[in-house]
Amino acid sequence: MATRQAGVTPGGKERTRGPAHIKREADERIYDPVHDEEDAPWVRGASLAMPPARKGMDQRWIRFAIRGQSDSTNWSRKMREGWKPRPADTVPESFPMPTIDHGQFKGLIGIEGSVLCERPMAISKRRDKHFAGVTEKRTEAINHDLQRLNEQNANPAFGPVRLATRTTPAREVAREVPVQDD
């Protein structure tokens, strides 16, 4: 049986401690890092990691549910745009990915109501070219409207309306993240 150690409380009363024991491991503990990657850069929790894209393919996370409710409209629109779920066996073993284990998306790479999808880079380039053309046409229309407005309403008190453009970074990004508009 272990011996009890006596002590005195601040009020002068005697007290006893529990079983005598070796100093607690917590008291002797030397600082051990909790994580191996202490110097890893901080990344927002909402940023979902992706394995490297396969050659000739573009990839992104496609939402199939939001707040537990199916988002079939978004899912079917993305499928019509050429996105297909990326097979789990195409991801290198060195990049562990979560897979969905139930429902219609069983066996697919997925997390937080999204599935990792891919499509040929050629389709993505055609899409980018299309939207670059749309943006160019809109910009030309704005410039044309401003020019016409200035010709019709040249007000000497205020002068011509001028288009002022500037670019400001929304935030600094520590690493390059592929982003594509919805």
Give the residue with greater pLDDT, 16 vs 112: 112
Shared-domain flag, residues 73 and 126: no
Domain encompassing residue 93: 58-119
DSSP tag of 40? P
Q: Mind listing the pLDDT tens digit for each residue in 50-101?
A: 888 999 999 999 999 888 888 899 999 999 999 999 988 888 888 888 888 8
**Around Cβ 124, how many Cβ atoms within 10 Å?**
19
Q: Are residues 85 and 125 located together in one domain of the fold?
A: no
The tally of domains found in the chain comes to: 2
What residues contact 120, with CB distance under 8 A and at least 6 apart? 56, 57, 58, 82
Residue 71 near residue 60, CB atoms below 8 Å: no
Domain assignment present for 15: no
CA 123-126-130 angle, 5° bins: 140
Is 161 among the domain residues? no
Q: What are phi and psi of 138, to 5 degrees?
A: -65, -40
